[in-house]
Structure 1
Amino acid sequence: MEVLNDMEEPKKTIFDQLSVFIYRKWLFLAPLAAGTVVGLMLSFEIPEKYSSSTLIVVEEQQIPEEYVTPTDRTPFSQRLNVISQQILSRTKLDQIIKEYKLYEDQGPSRLDRALAYITGNDIDYSTPEDTIEQMRQDIQFTVIGEAGGKKGQGSGGNAFSITYLGSDPQTTMEVTNTLASLFIEENLRVREQYAEGTSEFITSELDSAQEALEKQEQSIKEFKQAHMGALPEQLEANLRTLDRLQLELQNVTTNLKLNEDRRNVLEEQLSYGPIPASSSSMRGGLATELESAKGELAMLLSMFKETYPDVIILKKRIKDLEARLDENAGGSDKERRKNSLDVMNPAYAELMSVKSQISTLRQRDNEILRNMADYQRKVELTPNVEQQQSDLMRDYQISLDNYQGLLGKKMNARLAENLEKRQKGARFRVVDPANLPDSPDYPNKPLVSALGLLGGGAFGTGLVFLFEFLNPAFRKPEDFEGTIDIPVLSSIPLFLPDAGKTKPELKVVKGRTASA
């Protein structure tokens, strides 16, 4: 019999496929039952987990920022990341685990033992590191945006939720509330610590700035003392003094010229011979001149100080007149007779007075010239001194601005520190406390059982089709069509050897056993 391999395979109906499943029913039912059993075992073997959540919002500071500027402007997401890392630290979690005796009954399940036996790996859940890592996995933080939508951790938002998975409902709720309290306390501690650190840093910088400012003030003071008289702010006064000295020099020069001319006239008069005069008239003239000079001095003192140049000249003139009166009143008779011709001459007394004034005016002239040279030197030094002083004042102004700025920042830092200590700054507040879970969130037993059932059924279906593909069979006459090139004449129906037969019956006939 020749088989035609290139002929089309006859199409199979749904009944044909069903007959295949009926024929190989054990290949389907065995995996189906096994998958169902495994699913049921897993649903009861996996430990139950209860979840409890709490919602925390971020409240802005209660004092307006235009009155107190906060020192901590860390973005909410960054602050949440920092605090969450501190909460999830080994020390914090270990305290919570010991306080609530978490994970004490946790151990490898039979499934875990079976997997460990197959893979050859040892499983140990009793170490502190394992329990801490397990608790980290059971804690979840979710940032919630302003519109109420959830965002990933690290994004913006003004609220966040804390969710904890635990094996006991009551303990799960308490642990969630504890985590929320830790978040609030840690946020307050971090903000207060940040404010204190800022205040301490600014205080330290302020002390340094004050020390630098005082050094510069001392430098400026020493500089002004070293260049007193040539300072820029004294330039106008120096110029006015120069103008006054110039006028005074002109007056002194004029008076000196007049007195020198008068002296020349008197000397010329005296050269023609003495003019008789009595000694008493001579003394009277000196006394009159002395009284006139004293009156003029009193008038000058009423308008000027002791250091006024005309006052100094007049005092010296009065002193000379007093000395001449004493000299005229004393002396021996021989000297009086010797000088009687000259002393008794009024022109001679006037000549002596003029000479005295000339001497005084010359001294004053030299003094004015020295003062003018000194002031002129100071005026010439002023531009260089001004440049040096400008450099000092510029550095001083920079230091002063820095000091004043730090002083204002210190005051604001103290206000911000007090704000945080009184808990008036931005803070976390629990809006929705942790709930008491009434049913486990994990595992979903019906779903696990259904997945086991579906998995077993899928595996069984695959086995049926695999065996059917590897070991095909003809189950009806139509299966031969398209397979061989000769027609099917007849088919033998399903023959059951025991069909139509009845079981033998035993009957008792007159004490004998017979079979019917």
Structure 2
Amino acid sequence: MSLRGGTMDRTYTMDELFAAIRRRWKVTAAIAFGVLALAAVVIARLPDDYKARALVMVEPFTPHPDLVVPMIGATSLEEKVKSVRAQVYARGLMATAIEELKLYPKEREKYGMDGAIEAFRNDTEVHADGENVFAIIVRSKSAEDAAKTANRLAELMIEGNLQVRAGQVTRTREIISQKLAEMRGELSRAQAKVAAYKQEHADTLPELVEARMHEREAISKQIEQEEGFAKEAQHRIDLLGTQPFGKDTEVGRLEEQYDTMRAKLGAAISGLTADHPDVQALKRETEFTSARLQAARARAAQNDLEQRRMTAAIERSTKRVGALEQRIAQIDKLVAATPLTRAQIDDLEKDVDLVKVKVASLISKKAEAEITAELETKSGPAEFRVLESAQPPTIAASPNRPQALLLAFLAAVALGIAVALGQELSDRSLRSEGEVSMALTLPVLACVPQLAVVHSRPRLLAVHSENEG
């Protein structure tokens, strides 16, 4: 023990602390008892909280995947827990339960429906209790209210989940139908695009190639014929003036008539005299015919009608051949452009085929959606069921009074010990030779032991705050 500035500082060992507690056990016991009694009263007056649990089982209907593809995919346990918790904690569901069961009247009066819902959420727990089982736990001051609330939450959750799944099925069907209508419109546009392209390139369609080739072959034959006609006309022009006139011409008829008259005149001269009238008449006719023949020959030599006819025929054949050759050139150009048209049409038809595949797939999915929707409509009510209804609990879940009393007892004892140690630290009495020697800084010659006097209290020497030296 030491004095610094008139203040005494002590250093205690564990034995000294235990000795101080033993000396002041009455104070410790009194404080501990008082605190424990007060805590017991408070704990006894704490209201009881009851917890009720309702178990909901999920039994999803899963048809064989080879028969129908489910519209709503399977979810994991964690996702199921999140989904169920979100449904239970939803504002609409909790507000419905609060209004139906008239829960949290004070919170509703003070904070409105939002405050009541927040308190309801704090008193509600949702967690998995197996692979397909969920527990809905509700805490309340009343055991009956806890059970009714848990059961009603389970019922509302099942009803809401069925509505949600029905909405999902409806939305899925609507989405598929909308997409199918869009794809059908796209298919119509793609087919119209192919038809428009074919109409625009009607001369170079692949299916016309064979007809074009036959036409080209026929035109080639016509060119050969026209060229033959031109050659024949040119040949006839070359032979003009070198061949006898034809019988259908004036010169040819007169030559035939002149030959006939000469034959008659020769026959008459051989049978008659030269001065015979018949002979004279035949001579005159023969001379006249000869004169006419010479005149006809003269006119024929000056007339170029045949040459002009042949020349015109050659010109017509040449023009015809030119036109036919132009047609062949056009056909060749169209045939040469056909591969490009075919490639473009193939690309467009591939797009059409792809859209057709998509349309067929959507039609199949729509049929499967109809089947699945019907199955889910029939099996929906059996998918969720209450496995175990909540019953009013007979034992309160909180507070845990034995545990609270134990903690209160430990706290009371600790407080009593703390008070006793505080008194000991504030006590300046000297209880040993060492304390006296350290406090007075004087040698101790003798020590008088504590004397027990009847009806008297033990007295200890107090150390003044100032050293009298």
Assess same fold via TM > 0.5: yes
Query: Is 1:68 matched up with 2:26?
Result: no
Counterpart for residue 409 of structure 1: 365
What's the CA shift for 1:229?
Answer: 3.6
Query: Is 1:197 matched up with 2:182?
Result: no
Task: Rate the CA distance shift 1:425–1:231 in 2: closer, same or farther, 3 A.
Answer: farther
Within the candidate set 482, 486, 496, 2:444 is matched to 486
Counterpart for residue 464 of structure 1: 420
Counterpart for residue 220 of structure 1: 194
Amino acid corresponding to residue 67 of structure 2 in structure 1: Y
Contact 1:9 1:482 in 2 (8 A): no
Counterpart for residue 117 of structure 2: 132
Q: Which ranges in structure 1 are unaligned for 5 or more consecutive residues?
A: 108-122, 149-156, 277-354, 500-516
Q: Deviations over 1:268-322 (max 9, x none)?
A: 653683599xxxxxxxxxxxxxxxxxxxxxxxxxxxxxxxxxxxxxxxxxxxxxx
Task: Rate the CA distance shift 1:197–1:126 in 2: closer, same or farther, 3 A.
Answer: closer
Secondary structure of 1:136 counterpart: helix
d(CA) in 2 for partners of 1:3, 1:128: 67
d(CA) in 1 for partners of 2:64, 2:418: 71
Amino acid corresponding to residue 222 of structure 1 in structure 2: A
1:164-179 → structure 2 map (5 Å cutoff): 164-179=138-153
Secondary structure of 2:204 counterpart: coil
Task: Rate the CA distance shift 1:124–1:45 in 2: closer, same or farther, 3 A.
Answer: farther
1:306-317 → structure 2 map (5 Å cutoff): none
Within the candidate set 398, 417, 424, 1:442 is matched to 398
1:173-188 → structure 2 map (5 Å cutoff): 173-188=147-162
Amino acid corresponding to residue 273 of structure 1 in structure 2: G
Larger Rg: 2
d(CA) in 2 for partners of 1:383, 1:60: 58
Contact 1:8 1:482 in 2 (8 A): no
d(CA) in 2 for partners of 1:386, 1:425: 58
Task: Rate the CA distance shift 1:8–1:384 in 2: closer, same or farther, 3 A.
Answer: closer
Secondary structure of 1:51 counterpart: strand
Structure number with the higher helix fraction is 2
Counterpart for residue 136 of structure 2: 162
Amino acid corresponding to residue 16 of structure 1 in structure 2: A
d(CA) in 2 for partners of 1:491, 1:38: 42
d(CA) in 2 for partners of 1:197, 1:390: 37
What's the CA shift for 1:131?
Answer: 2.5
1:271-310 → structure 2 map (5 Å cutoff): 273=252
TM-score scaled to structure 1, two decimals?
0.62
TM-score scaled to structure 2, two decimals?
0.67
Counterpart for residue 400 of structure 1: 356
d(CA) in 2 for partners of 1:478, 1:12: 15
Contact 1:252 1:365 in 2 (8 A): yes
Q: Which ranges in structure 2 are unaligned for 5 or more consecutive residues?
A: 257-309, 458-469
Counterpart for residue 21 of structure 1: 24
d(CA) in 1 for partners of 2:18, 2:85: 63
Query: Is 1:93 matched up with 2:94?
Result: yes
Counterpart for residue 33 of structure 1: 33
Contact 2:53 2:136 in 1 (8 A): yes
Within the candidate set 324, 327, 342, 1:386 is matched to 342
RMSD of aligned Cα (Å): 4.5
d(CA) in 2 for partners of 1:404, 1:230: 32
d(CA) in 1 for partners of 2:352, 2:152: 55
